[in-house]
Amino acid sequence: MNQLLSVGVDGVIYSAWLFTAALGLTLIYGVMKIVNVTHGSFYALGAYAGASITGAWLARGYPPMLSYAVLLGSALLVTLVVAPLIERAILRFMYAKDEVVILLITYALFLILEDVIKLVWGVNPYFIAEPYALLGSFSVAGLAYPTYNLILVALALVAGLGLAWILHSTRVGKLLLAVIHDPEISRAMGINVDRYYLVTFTFGSLLAALAGAYTAPTVSVVPGLGVEIIVLSFAVVVIGGLGSLPGAALGAVIVGVVRSLSVHYMPQVELFVIYFVMAMVLAFRPRGLFSLAEPRRI
């Protein structure tokens, strides 16, 4: 029973982290039909900005409790500088091209940003351990868990529920849904689709940067950080259905719980189990669990 409890807690923590990271990816695909590989770069940029700015904050002796706000500010800062630049300077000229071409363009940007990160931050690791231990621990089934993990869970809930609220309960969200459904008709109806694309790309990238920034206190921030997350995020959104918000949530929970179960009960299959689940889902529902029927255009 105790072990099942810890499987649950570990699964929830992992799912929350994964959901925050994958949410922006599914949002950008849903609105812009871009399989955005630079999502991993924004995760890494968020982690680097979070680690370096928060590290500087703590080194100067400023209040450690505010470091959580500094992490948020770091993610905002780096995203607001880089994401609009990429969208306005490069991506907006590519929207007419095939999805595969745009995927390759974002992959090229991902590689470029990896080198930019090395140019700016070098190859040595960055650490900010204080925020992880600052809030103390809570105990479940006799095991201690840093309370910081609850921030990750809260971040996932706020991001997911907030985005759902924006999409379904605000005017902006309803206009965005119109853009998702048909950009051409939306443009004809007077909606500034380009602006929605810019805002969507920036907001989606911000979610990745936030995931990176709030992961920074738990890891060593090193080059290549964005590679692993992009693979896992793709697995999550593919399981849930590309572009689906509830799909991303369910995908993250499935991946988190299945991984946790395998780590506790069959560690030898941990490496393969996530991709096995993905393969099974795709075998029976090739467009993911929450895929919607697409209208024929002609």
Partner 1 sequence: MKKLVVALVAAALAPVAAAQNVKIGVVTFLSGPAAAPFGVPAKNAAEFVVEALNAGKGPAPYTKRGFGGAAIEVVMLDEAGSTTTQVTEFRNLVQRANVDLVIGYVSSGNCLAIAPVAEELKKLVNFFDCGTPRIFEDGSYEYVFRTSPTATMDSVGAALYVKDAKPGVKSIAGINQNYAWGQDSWGDFELAMKMLVPSVETKTSQMPKLFAGQYNAEISALMSAKPDVIHSSFWNGDLEALILQGGPRGLMKQSLTILTTGETAMHKLGAQIPDGTVLGARGPFGPYAPNNAYNKWFHGGYVGKYKEEPNYASYQMAQAFLGVKLAWEKAQDASGGKRPTNEQVAAALKGSTFEGPGGTVRMAIGKGHQAIMETAYGQTRMAGGKLTVVNVKRYPAEQVNPPEGVKSSDWIKSGFKAK
Residue 286 and residue 278 in contact, taking contact as beta carbons nearer than 8 Å:
no
Other CB atoms within a 10 A radius of the CB of residue 185 amount to: 11
| Closest separation in Å from C-beta 223 to partner 1 | 6
Provide the CA 91 distance to its chain's centre, in angstroms: 19
- How many DSSP H helices and E strands does the chain contain? 12, 2
Beta carbon of residue 177, minimum distance to partner 1 (angstroms, whole number) = 33
Nearer to partner 1, 9 or 237 (CB): 9
CB nearer to partner 1: give 115 or 184: 115
Phi and psi, residue 137, nearest 5°: -130, 160
For residue 130, what is the DSSP state? H
Which one, 184 or 228, has the nearer CB to partner 1? 228
Of 11 and 183, which has the nearer Cβ to partner 1? Answer: 11
Residue 94 CA to its chain's centroid (Å) = 23
The CB-of-217 to partner 1 minimum distance in angstroms stands at 8
Nearer to partner 1, 4 or 185 (CB): 4
247 within 8 A of 288, measured Cβ to Cβ: yes
In terms of CB distance, is 59 or 123 closer to partner 1? 123
Pairing of strands 137-140, 143-146: antiparallel
Q: Is the Cβ–Cβ distance between 207 and 245 less than 8 Å?
A: no
Q: Residue 221 has what DSSP assignment? A: B
Contacts of 5 (CB under 8 A, 6+ apart): 140, 141
Which residues lie below 8 Å from residue 183, measured CB to CB, with a gap of 6+? Answer: 193
Residue 220 contacts residue 58 (beta carbons within 8 Å): no
- The residues that touch partner 1, with contacts defined as CB under 8 A, are 2-3, 6-7, 9-11, 13-14, 17, 118, 123-125, 127, 129, 132-133, 137, 141, 143-146, 149, 215, 217-225, 227-228, 259-260, 263-264, 267-268, 270-271
Q: Closest distance between partner 1 and the C-beta of residue 165, in Å?
A: 28
Whole-number Å distance between alpha carbons of 165 and 159: 10
Nearest approach, Cβ of residue 255 and partner 1 (Å): 12
Residue 128, judged by CB atoms within 10 A of its CB (0-12, 13-18, 19+), counts as buried
Q: Cβ of residue 246: shortest distance to partner 1, in angstroms?
A: 23
Between residues 32 and 261, which has the closer beta carbon with respect to partner 1? 261
CB 175, min distance to partner 1, A: 37
Nearest CB to partner 1, comparing residues 186 and 215: 215
Kindly state the smallest distance separating residue 198's Cβ from partner 1, in Å.
31
